Amino acid sequence: MTRQVLLFISALSLGLVQGQVSYSIPEEMTKGSLVGNIAQDLGLDIKRLISGKARLYTGESAQYIELSRERGVLVIKERIDREALCGQTTPCALHFQIILENPMELYRVTVEITDVNDNAPTFKKTEKRFEISESAVLGSKFVLDKALDLDIGTNGLQSYTLKPTDNFVLKLHSQADGSKKVEMVLQKQLDREKEENMSLLLTAMDGGEPVMSGTVQIYITVLDSNDNAPVFTKAVYKSVIPENSQKGTLVTSVSASDADKGSNGEKK
């Protein structure tokens, strides 16, 4: 056990905690940025910090903040990424002590790390494909991928949009884990003969300032159904032939077309 740990345990056992102070800072502050004037806030003289060999005790935690005895301030030692430090846990805070010797004194310090909007919503894949029959009934539902945003609160994922909305509308359903189930619902009948391939854009947006967003492209292939009958080029065909025409003489030619394709469009 090191001398520093022995001093810390001794201080706790003797009840030498003299006071405490709290700060709140945003994540991603640059190295050397000011956290707070600890000497002023604790009512300590800078000479006492120096003579008492003031130092920070963070236990086994990484030290993101350091003490400048000569200035009596706390400054950023290493850039703090709130998402890496706490994930989705809130509040996110660093807890440590300032220890002085001769006489022994201990002060508790809490530094809350607040979120900044440094992460955009993202999708696992950049595109999604569907094959949907043109005979699909109105109200048919198709599940879309959810977006992920590492930020929290208003900086986290807030809303989705789907464009264009000619044939589909977007529906969101709340889940037990607080996320949203994302579906597109057919609201207008598909017509392969008019539009066989469709492209939609799903956008996820956060509530930060400025707003950050992520997108996924949705490609839809409309499958054919036998919804068109063959149509002749004329409603009535007329022909005149001599009465003594021989067997096999061409009387007239007729033709028909079918808007369907494949076996649905084959003419017999």
Task: Give 166-221 pLDDT, tens digit per residue.
Answer: 999 999 998 888 788 999 999 999 999 899 999 999 999 999 999 999 999 999 99
Query: Structure tokens of 85?
Result: 């430090």
pLDDT surpassing 80 at residue 94 = yes
Percent of the chain residues topping a pLDDT of 70:
83
Mean pLDDT of 77-103: 93
Question: Is the model's pTM score more than 0.75?
Answer: no
Residue partners of 177: CB distance under 8 A and separation at least 6: none
When mean pLDDT is compared across 7-16, 37-46, 241-250, the lowest value belongs to 7-16
The predicted pLDDT at position 207 comes to: 95
Mean pLDDT for the chain overall:
86
**Residues of CATH 2.60.40.60 domain(s) within the chain?**
3-114, 127-223
Q: How many residues does the chain have?
A: 268
CATH of domain 127-223: 2.60.40.60
Query: Structure tokens of 155?
Result: 């900086």
pLDDT surpassing 50 at residue 2 = no
Taking CA 230 as the corner, what is the angle to CA 226 and CA 231, rounded to the nearest 5 degrees?
140
Main-chain phi, psi angles of 7, to 5 degrees: -65, -40
Pick the CATH number of 3-114 from 3.30.420.10, 3.40.50.450, 2.60.40.60, 1.20.58.220: 2.60.40.60
Mean pLDDT of 237-259: 70
The predicted pLDDT at position 66 comes to: 95
Could you give the CA distance from residue 44 to residue 142 in angstroms, rounded to a whole number? Answer: 64
The predicted pLDDT at position 13 comes to: 45
